[in-house]
Amino acid sequence: MKQITVSEYLKLPDLKRLEYDVLLPSLKPKEWLTIEINRLTYNEVKSIYKILQKATEIKDIEKVFDYAFKMTSYDFYNLPITKYFQLKKYLSNYFVILHKKESDLLNSISADIGIWQQAGGDSLNEFSDVLPLSQLAKIYGGYPFDYGTRKYVEIVYLLRMNNVQSQVENEYQKLKNGRLS
């Protein structure tokens, strides 16, 4: 198997490409390039999540490389094929872990979760990408979609801070009301 570029790989006949498709996905993920999470916007990270869930074409993967590594089309198609497969696996693993960490960080176990679900809270799931931005817009003012262009880490930090603050305020009110009774 020759070391070729992504562009050359895509031009191979299906049978020849199959050799690469069978062998190279077993390579260990490797961080040949750095994902600078502090530079990615909230919208870019959410787009990467969506693309990785349903990526079927090379253009989808190219878009992820563009968002994550700020890689031009030229650089993407000239990547050595082994690096491409290693980076692709690395990206997938990285964003699966990031998504899990984000969910764990923002989800709080609340005693009122059953009431929330009975009130129809689950019907908001279809708006899950925009709801956090809407919450920030309510708190700080502004248009929710404008917050999507802010840095991902800033948005997650503010969401987590407001989540913890809300929990503390709820517990304070419970303790205060319990003391007055």
Q: How confident is the model at residue 41 (pLDDT cuts 50, 70, 90)?
A: very high
Query: What residue spans define the domains of the chain?
Result: 6-106, 113-180
Inter-CA distances, 147 with 47, 93, 135, 156, 166, Å? 15, 26, 10, 11, 20
Average pLDDT over the chain reads 87
Per cent of the chain over pLDDT 70 is: 90
Across the range 5-33, mean pLDDT stands at 92
Predicted local distance difference test score (pLDDT) of residue 130: 83
**pLDDT the model gives residue 123:** 72
Cβ(85)–Cβ(25) below 8 Å = yes
Residues 100-119 pLDDT 10s: 988 877 775 455 666 666 77
Query: What is the distance between the alpha carbons of residues 21 and 14, in angstroms, rounded to a whole number?
Result: 10
Residues 137-162 pLDDT 10s: 999 999 999 999 999 999 999 988 88
More confident residue, 176 or 10: 10
Residue 29 φ/ψ, nearest 5 degrees: -65, 145
